[in-house]
Amino acid sequence: MVPGDLPAQPGDIMKLLTKVAAHCGVAFAALVAAVPASASLLPQSWNGYHWAHTGNLAIMLGNNVSATWTPYVTAAAAAWSTDKYIDYIPTAGSTTGSTCAAMYGTVQICSGNYGATNWLGWTTVWTSGTSIYQATIKLNDYYFNNTKYNNAAFRQQVACQEMGNALGLQDADRIYTNLNIGSCMDYSNDPSGTKGTNGTLSNVGISATDFSHLDDIYAVLDTTQLIYTKPGAFTNPQSVAGGVPEPSSWAMIVGGFGALGMAMRRRKPVTAVAFAG
């Protein structure tokens, strides 16, 4: 997804600032007003983005992935759901792998051949201020059909990492050649920790440090919470659709309280050039 793909909003609310971090292929797009000063951010916070909450969160995770991806997505959702503040609630998907459209109040996770994009996984969050109100995750089969990435370790690590990003958790380390730190939020040439290139720790799961930083982000309560993310409120994203405003309407609703924004991050395969030829 690129900034131009964001639906137009009335009153030029959606004026988008694109910031590109040149190292490690990480890209961000966000509204100027939505980006807090980095000095105020908690460790591993992605620009302060989080799901607004007055209590615990139950975030629907729409499954739009292939049968090959389903066990990895299921395992990652279960792992993140052991957090004391957040549960991912697996549901039927509301979109397709090719379009991967967002659904208000949910995270939609998709797989498909998105081409030679230089990313394995791409997470997009839509925000009002720093509050996330919907997100999408794309898992790029263009690369996962290649032998280097078509294995359990890479699939599990990327599914886990993108789902952490969708909660507002930033990557722990973006240098592929560093030793593994035992976290799926850590980039690696060998997430399995068995090939001798990145040490012996496995990077397919969530570390205690990841959970600690996530809990720091969500320890502070907000004054509002989307009803769709309250435990027990909904179990199917289709039940949300009827009462959800269109993006243009939503912009008008929240316009007086803070501009809407969109943020994207991408994960770049270190050997992408090898597949471009």
pLDDT in tens, 248-274: 333 333 333 344 566 666 554 433 222
CA distance 58 to 76: 15
- Exposed / middle / buried, residue 252 (Cβ in 10 Å: 0-12, 13-18, 19+): middle
Q: How many domains does the chain have?
A: 1
Q: pLDDT higher for 119 or 265?
A: 119
Does residue 76 fall inside a structural domain? Answer: yes
The pLDDT value given to residue 232: 86
What pLDDT score does 258 carry? 41
128 domain-assigned: yes
Whether 116 has a pLDDT exceeding 70, the answer reads yes
Q: Is there a domain that residue 277 lies in?
A: no
| Residues whose CB falls within 8 Å of the CB of residue 144, separated by 6 or more in sequence, listed in order | 120, 150, 154, 155
Confirm whether 186 is domain-assigned: yes
Beta strands in the chain (DSSP E): 17-21, 26-30, 57-64, 86-92, 106-112, 121-128, 131-140, 260-266
Q: What is the pLDDT of residues 204-240, one digit of tens each?
A: 999 999 999 999 999 999 999 999 999 987 665 555 5
pTM for this predicted structure: 0.78
Query: Per the domain annotation, does 220 fall within a domain?
Result: yes
Residue 17 pLDDT exceeds 80? no
Asked if residue 201 belongs to a domain, the reply is yes
Task: Check which CATH number belongs to the domain holding 238 and give it.
Answer: 3.40.390.10
Determine the structural domain holding residue 76 and report its residue range: 3-270
